[in-house]
Structure 1
């Protein structure tokens, strides 16, 4: 299964490191990533492959929300099929 993760907030040191470290701990594989900084605003979008085992998506969301609070950014994660459906409309 794949998921799309977005990160938005003010740019600062450690955002990419914090997000990628947490995803590694969760055994998520980053298969694609795009980021940009515009006038101090940081945005990043990642496509991740989730581990083959059952993943409690709510626990993942909770952990990423906590990380976002620590880093001062907003982190959202959605299953790829939901993301694709939302943006085809």
Structure 2
């Protein structure tokens, strides 16, 4: 399943390595990635391919814990949720 992973926090060494290393251990493939630093704040958005048998709730919790260790906020959401939100907002215009 495809998912959107976001990472935001104060810029410092090791954020990309920490997140990508975790994903590799979980056999989660990075399909696309965008990152930037704005006024000292690191922001990264990834589209990832999560194995279908993965426990998404546990994965989300582990990523939040990793974020605490790295000093950033990490969130992951199923891509279908974003698509549904876009369809709903399109109908409100």
Please indicate the TM-score interval, normalised by the length of the shorter structure. over 0.9
**Which range moves more in the overlay, 79-88 or 39-48?**
79-88
Structure 2 spans left out of the alignment, 5+ residues: none
Using the size of structure 2 for normalisation, the TM-score is 0.89
Using the size of structure 1 for normalisation, the TM-score is 0.93
Hey, what does 1:12 align to over in structure 2? 12
The structure having more radius of gyration, on CA atoms, is: 2
Structure 1 spans left out of the alignment, 5+ residues: none
In structure 2, how many angstroms separate the alpha carbons of the residues matched to 1:21 and 1:83?
A: 25
Q: How far does residue 87 in structure 1 lie from its aligned partner after superposition? A: 3.8
In structure 2, how many angstroms separate the alpha carbons of the residues matched to 1:84 and 1:43?
A: 22
Q: How far does residue 83 in structure 1 lie from its aligned partner after superposition? A: 1.8
Hey, what does 1:3 align to over in structure 2? 3
In structure 2, how many angstroms separate the alpha carbons of the residues matched to 1:69 and 1:59?
A: 16
Within the alignment, does 1:84 sit opposite 2:89 as a pair? no
Within the alignment, does 1:29 sit opposite 2:23 as a pair? no
- CA distance 1:18–1:49, change in 2 (3 Å): same
In structure 1, how many angstroms separate the alpha carbons of the residues matched to 2:21 and 2:28?
A: 10
In structure 1, how many angstroms separate the alpha carbons of the residues matched to 2:74 and 2:56?
A: 14
